[in-house]
Amino acid sequence: MSVIDIVGVGFLTVGTVFFIAGSVGVVRLPDVYTRLHALTKADNLGLGFLIIGLSFWAESWLVIAKMVLIWGLVVVAGATSGHLVAESARMTKIVPWRKPS
């Protein structure tokens, strides 16, 4: 294994950890607002690290550009859908979770 392969696998591993952390956050966090935050942030970072890792094995710059474009679209779609879900929760009067004192 070359150094490029090791670095690429490292980025893929970090991206996978972010995806797993986001999934755990969706299951463990108490309300819709904190779950949305965990999921959108972790998924965007996880996908970014995966794209960086995959770019080490890309055949051309065009492939890397396409992956970055897809990542940008996912970031915009994630932010938009997260906002829509949070706004819907607010309109149905779902109260944000507060730590019991």
Per-residue pLDDT of the chain (101 residues; tens, 9 = 90+): 899 999 999 999 999 999 999 999 899 999 999 999 888 889 999 999 999 999 999 999 999 999 999 999 999 999 999 999 999 999 999 988 888 88
Cα–chain center distance at 35: 12
| pTM, rounded to two decimals | 0.86
CB atoms within 10 A of CB 92: 8
The predicted pLDDT at position 49 comes to: 97
Reference 82, options 28, 27, 26; nearest CA is 26
Q: What is the b/e burial string over 33-68, where b = at least 16 CB atoms within 10 angstroms of the residue's CB?
A: bebbebbbbbbbbbbbbbbbbbbbeeeeeeebeebe
